Structure 1
Amino acid sequence: MEVFRPSIAQSPKSPDGQASDNTKVTDSKTAVAERSGKSTLNEGIANFYDESSGLWESMWGEHMHHGYYPKGAAPKSNQKAQIDMIEEVLSWAGATSATKMVDVGCGIGGSSRHIARKFGCTAQGITLSPVQAARGNALAKEQGLGEKASFQVADALQQPFEDNSFDLVWSMESGEHMPDKARFVGELARVCMPGGRIIIVTWCHRNLEQGETELKGNEKLLLDLICKAYYLPEWCSINDYRAIFEAEGLRDIKVADWSQEVAPFWGAVIKSALSTQGFSGLFKAGWTTIKGALVMPLMSTGFSMGLVKFNLITGVKS
């Protein structure tokens, strides 16, 4: 089973037991390269959402995530399906109340405001996109939640919050953007209060079968194409997330695969992109958004072949 853990490099020592100068130089260059790579990824993510969020909101509303379409249920609007997703996730996780919540990768704050109204709690959200943060704050004010919900630009891997700040830590479809899954979960656990609940809803690749050490070649190729369009680093499985939750000492861990429940979503998104409003909006939004739209059928293909999974994981901080 693949497991994402922080790597700890062992530096060669000089005779006096100290790291050699050459090693220090190499380590410094490696650190700079890693920071540069992370910065480039973060800039790509921020630009993608700066450019595309307005179009998404105009066509889909304030909730920038999948909808929930259980098999056999009556037809409903995609906007209703997105709200149902929040409600169903909370119910599945056993989250019945909160006093302070944080939305990590908040988009324009749809989940935060919904949960703030539902539980009467305060909500803070972080995103890499200045456009999203500004729009989230504007919507909070318009909806009478200006004193309850606030949004800011910040990195999920280095959150600007004190330890033990929130009793509900929420991440709806942002984990896939995280280049270091272990550090991501570590930060969620750090800002969570003891007894507080962490909920992650994210895209994953399928779990590896017994005897497999990696995904198949065609699966890797498909994920690579998706990653380039959506500014995603390497994918992981829900088993990887479970292992990280366990390593963080979280308890009452539960996972789920809701791929079938969200399957109708991508067809609806593709249909909306092909509409007159969609074509016009994509043209105005720019090439980055157009690239994302062109790759939508690949996401749908990934779902169909069982490679791309829509997974949930929750746990409680001890």
Structure 2
Amino acid sequence: MSPGDEHDYRPTDRGGRTDDPYSTLGGTRQTRTRLPDSDAGHPQARRTARNSRSLVMIVGVVVLLIAAIAFANRGGGSDDASPGAKGRGSTGSAPTAATGTKPVQGKNGTIASGFAHDEQGAQSAAANYAVALGSAEMFDKAKRDGILDAVIAPSSINRFRDTLDKAYSRNFFRNVGLNDDGSTPEGFTFISRTAPIGTKVVEATPDRTTVEVWCTGLIGLAGEGSTKPVTDGWFTITVELVWVGGDWKASTHSQKDGPAPVGGDNRASSAEDIANAVNGYGGFTYAR
């Protein structure tokens, strides 16, 4: 959904990552995959973009047919839970079915709140918090403080705030193409967005749960002549959440690269198209 040189962010009294322009705390770590060119060791020619697109279209049609059949054959269920709902302690997954409780109705500013006091609620909180902590708003001091107030446990918030205030420095702003004060240069659109792909509980007790959130993200400056064009990345965030004040709050946050899929054959869009897409398509409230 903070920048530094290390590959793990966990706020401590010693500080954390301080200069990495691709952390999910206000950025995304890049992961690039290069396919091998044909050579003596790889005599097979790479698929042409046309054949690849044709295959994608065929697979897409098959997936849509399977989904339609599954929907037609699905049995009725209650409003509160789906057939894929999981109880506390379950380690299974339901990748094709919505699981558990309804989406949260509460809001703390622009961030979802009022998550269920169970594993599903913790996963929903972790996904929403990953989005908030990876947003462009983190580059603005006042907005960043508001986000931290909404998602971080009171016992950890000072540690987070001190670490991030040091991390969002002039050098870091320059590294991502911003002005020294973190503002966006005239004529450009700054983009920093995290999108969760899935969540997994790795450890749970009634009032403390650790959740992994697999994400993709965007970061960069969209605009004609940008020297920091928008790029994508894949990463996994680990969030430890505690139940406090009637809601889940994050107490620690760390990140690692991947898993990253092989890049497709999509042609890169223009800077204008990317800026219009980010400004035109809003984010989501995530809930299991």
TM-score (norm 1): 0.22
**Larger strand proportion of the pair:** 2
Higher relative contact order (Cα pairs below 8 Å, separated by 6+ residues): 2
TM-score (norm 2): 0.24
